């Protein structure tokens, strides 16, 4: 990965994470609504989160603070310790902790609450990856150990290809889908497991890492990563927060924010949408809590 890209990413995370640590506390009726999330796939991530929080705050009548962390586990730790009111997480940790979580909203991609996992590789290489069977003795980049598209789907596909992690030359977690694309583009990995929505959005935003990689394989459709809250959280702002997300498509400012995210909206979530992810996790012995 190019050193400049790594440094720019680190700088953004330093600003967001420092702000999150400085304000960490249990929410109360007078506290800001605190929403956790991992990397947003935007070049101007910090500026976008400021615009989004201002938009939501105007509709809720109280401050909204986004707390960014590098991993889903870090976000879950904050959520379960009641240092967050809500969190945008992946469907895999949702099904692992479904008994403790409540769905608030689910994003819509092109009007549907679904996305895919991609296996990406390097273009125009003599030793190009053409499928999962080609990963023996290769370097594979994962996104996050709690990512459906960036880890769980890959475990099922490797098993179907008759491979185990020992058959890989090496694997590593890039801690972010954008970082997976950067790793493959730079040659740190020969293939990567990535959220298809992220890769497609990187293409739309003309990001170099997407232009320098190619999609080798696409998965079935899975429920999009949802916005959740801890079951039993009585914060009266949570229903209004879910409604504000679902109503973003109704006004110009909300539409602009959705366009930046490459989403068409948020919808009322249905827990049954996540059953295929639960079945996938069970099939590889990864349905743990």
Beta carbons of 27 and 241 less than 8 angstroms apart = no
Q: Which two tokens stand for residue 38?
A: 């991992």
Q: Tell me if 33 is assigned to some domain.
A: yes
Number of domains in the chain: 2
Check residue 288 and give its pLDDT. Answer: 77
3-state secondary structure of 119: strand
Kindly report the CATH number assigned to the domain that includes residue 41: 3.40.190.10
3-state secondary structure of 112: strand
Question: Rounded to a whole number, what is the largest CA-CA distance in the chain?
Answer: 60
Domain span including residue 248: 3-107+225-271
- Give yes or no: residues 145 and 190 share one domain: yes
Burial class, 83, CB count within 10 angstroms (exposed 0-12 / middle 13-18 / buried 19+): middle
Low-confidence ranges of the chain (pLDDT < 70): 1-30, 40-44, 126-127, 289
- Give yes or no: residues 20 and 92 share one domain: yes
- Give yes or no: residues 103 and 190 share one domain: no
| Residue where a domain terminates, one of 186, 203, 219 | 219
Check residue 31 and give its pLDDT. Answer: 81
Q: In angstroms, what is the C-alpha Rg of the chain?
A: 19
Distance between CA atoms of residues 263 and 110, nearest Å: 7
**pTM metric for this prediction:** 0.87
């Amino acid at each position: 990965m190019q050193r400049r890209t790594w440094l720019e990413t680190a700088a953004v995370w330093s600003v967001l994470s420092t702000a999150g640590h400085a304000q960490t506390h249990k929410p109360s009726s007078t506290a800001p609504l605190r929403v956790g999330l991992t990397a947003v796939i935007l070049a101007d991530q910090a500026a976008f989160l400021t615009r989004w929080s201002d938009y939501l705050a105007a509709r809720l009548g109280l401050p909204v603070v986004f707390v960014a962390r590098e991993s889903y586990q870090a976000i879950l730790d904050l959520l379960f310790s009641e240092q967050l009111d809500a969190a945008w997480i992946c469907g895999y940790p949702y099904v692992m902790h479904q008994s403790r979580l409540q769905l608030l909203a689910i994003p819509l991609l092109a009007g549907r609450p679904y996305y895919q996992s991609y296996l990406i590789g390097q273009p125009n290489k003599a030793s190009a990856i053409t499928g999962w069977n080609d990963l023996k003795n290769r370097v594979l980049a994962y996104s996050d150990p709690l990512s459906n598209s960036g880890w769980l789907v890959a475990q099922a596909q490797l098993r179907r290809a008759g491979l185990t992690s020992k058959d890989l030359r090496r694997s590593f977690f890039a801690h972010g889908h954008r970082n997976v694309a950067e790793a493959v583009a730079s040659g740190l990995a020969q293939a990567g497991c990535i959220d298809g929505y992220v890769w497609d959005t990187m293409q739309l935003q003309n990001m170099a890492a997407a232009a320098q990689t190619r999609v080798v394989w696409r998965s079935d459709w899975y429920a999009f990563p949802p916005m959740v809250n801890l079951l039993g959280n009585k914060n009266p702002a949570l229903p209004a927060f879910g409604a504000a997300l679902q109503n973003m498509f109704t006004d110009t400012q909300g539409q602009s924010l959705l366009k930046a995210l490459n989403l068409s909206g948020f919808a009322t979530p249905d827990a049954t949408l996540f059953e295929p992810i639960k079945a996938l996790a069970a099939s590889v012995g990864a349905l743990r809590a």
